[in-house]
Structure 1
Amino acid sequence: MDDTRSLSLGFSPCPNDTYIFNALVHGFVQPRLARFDPPVLEDVETLNEWALRDRLEVTKLSFHALGHVLDRYALLRSGSALGRGCGPLLITGKHDYPRALAQWKIAIPGQLTTASLLLRLYHPKCENLVIMRFDRIKEAILRGEVDGGVIIHESRFTYQDLGLRCVQDLGEWWESTTGLPLPLGCIVAKRSLSVAVREDISGAIAASIAWADRHPDECLPYIRKHSQEMQPKVVNSHIGLYVNAYSMDLGDDGLHAVRELLRRGAEVGLFPPADELL
């Protein structure tokens, strides 16, 4: 294929992604071997589902979804959300709920999210799962529609304000079980693109992050445009938690963590064993 043509790009409207891609989207940094169409911003579960249909050439994914599409998409070394103290939380409210966790009706933010994978690894007998958008889960718990929910993104910073409580920090469970950082989300590119182009795109994403680190205030208009009602302190906490050294480059430690997550997911039959990541 002609790698110089314009490529489709998708990522989420969450502050970590708009922070990472701001400079790339606005032309402050550019890949040498590729160019992009105007990006499509969608919630990560939509992007996960699109990847199953090969819709975008470069896209944000949950690492759970990556396990299903590794035959067609290659992991990029830059742009990932991976770290410590940043995992999804299993929370509940004040209403009555079944004593045994396996009997709970639990909301999850998408079938292909890493949050749902972690819940399955943490407690495989939890099978009464309800899929809903991540931003509806807290309210569903408060209304008693579900006994608990797995929250991600900015919800982990605000759930206590509503009187909700954490049952299990799934990231903390992962870290204590494996000793590894937790892989949450990643950027992938189609394997039909040449290795040189994929590496060039990854380098451009790293350069976009470096630009944002040097000009954080200049990123704010784009971030706020898409974060909508999120409070400034929550935006800053979000970026500080999910954009880190692993976002610049996964490195050996990060790749080891990804392989372990995918190994465990394959072990419980969620997707085929991983072969080649990059």
Structure 2
Amino acid sequence: MSREVVFGHSPDSDDAFMYYGIASGNISLKGYEISHLMEDIESLNLRSEKGELAVTAISVAHYPKVSHNYQIMNCGSSVGRNYGPILVSKNYKKLEELKGKKIAIPGHFTTSYMLFQIFIEIECEVEFMHFESIINSIKNGKVDAGVLLHEGQILFQKDGLTKISDLGELWHENTGLPIPLGVDLVNRKFDEKTRKDLTTVFYKSVKYGIENEDAALKYAMQFGRDLSFEEARKFVRMYVNSDTLSLGAEGRDAILKLFNLAFEKNIINQKPVIDIMHPKY
């Protein structure tokens, strides 16, 4: 009898793309029935605090709060190399113009907000909201600016918005490292062999998607937002690539650097141990 395990991921094109190998039935794990739960990343961040899911995507910034429940997998990370979440506005073009203004942030526990706190040193009013609401909130004047992630990073100009700052670029200028924005975790309630098996099946799913890109994109676009096929390809390649197959030593160093900077700025009060679960290759 198969044992059911649930993988949690966001409905974004890149996350759905990674899951395609499993969803299509081409990748499986003997003795297990894998199902998936799709929620926005902030909901997954909060759910991870309860340790409910076998495997889940989260914002890497939230890992200090859940490291007792989960171990980071070497595969599945969404990594930006000199790009990342962007700060945009309709009416303002320079950072100093946002002093005292209201800025929308896509969740308190997101890496976007951690990077914002580290690098954006202006007095402003922060409003947390669902990431899908941010563009319209800027356009209708509810907020003066906002931090965009996911597909908004390549669609903002279509909505008449101006990029003021790229938090991924600021990160790279200051550290020289890539920025892991999201990671996938495996639950520590499983023994080491099972954690490795779950990590391996997800690695194989990511690899299958990369090797069967068009089919994986067609699947992923069911969940994406307002992207053409080629826009979806561009976005997915930004965050599903060799870094996704292997976080590697550089990715681990980047996570440690992020938490060191957050600790120095009193954003977090303790730094977690970073122990990585590797798949069987």
- What is the Cα-based RMSD across aligned positions, in Å? 2.1
Post-superposition Cα deviations, 1:31-51, rounded to whole Å, max 9, x if no partner, equal 35x624420111111111111
Report what 2:105 is aligned to.
108
Match of 1:249 among 237, 246, 251: 246
Structure 2 counterpart of 1:84, one-letter code: R
**What residue in structure 1 maps to residue 262 of structure 2?**
265
The answer to whether the 8 Å contact 1:87/1:171 transfers is yes
Of residues 4, 7, 10, the one that matches 1:9 is: 7
What SS is found at the alignment partner of 2:272?
coil
2:8 and 2:53 in contact (8 A); partners too: yes
Q: 2:196 aligns with which of 167, 179, 199?
A: 199
Please tell me whether residue 223 in structure 1 is matched to residue 209 in structure 2.
no
Q: CA deviation at 1:52?
A: 1.7
The alignment partner of 1:39 has SS state of strand
Equivalent residue pairs, number: 274
**Structure 1 contact 44–62 (Cα < 8 Å) conserved:** yes
Q: Residues 131 and 149 of structure 2 are in contact (CA less than 8 Å); yes or no, is this contact kept in structure 1?
A: yes
- Structure 2: any 5+ residue segments left out of the alignment? 277-281
Identify the residue that residue 135 of structure 1 maps to in structure 2: 132
Q: TM-score, normalised by structure 2?
A: 0.90
Shift of 1:228: 5.1
Unmatched 5+ stretches in structure 1:
none
Q: Any conservation in 2 of the 1:102–1:123 contact (CA below 8 Å)? A: no
Write the distance in 2 (CA, Å) between the matches of 1:242 and 1:90. Answer: 19
Alignment match, 2:279:
none
Taking structure 1 as the reference length, the TM-score comes to: 0.91
Deviation at 1:95, TM superposition (A): 6.3
CA distance in 2, matches of 1:148, 1:41: 28
1:89-168 aligned at under 5 Å gives the runs 89-94=86-91, 99=96, 101-126=98-123, 128-168=125-165
The equivalent residue for 2:27 is 29
Cα distance in 2, alignment partners of residues 40 and 155 from structure 1: 23
Alignment CA distance shift 1:221-1:158 (3 Å) = closer
Percent identity over paired residues: 28
Secondary structure (helix, strand or coil) at the match of 2:35 reads coil
CA distance in structure 2 between the aligned counterparts of 1:69 and 1:126, rounded to whole angstroms: 30
Find runs of 4+ consecutive structure 1 residues off by over 4 angstroms: 95-100, 124-127
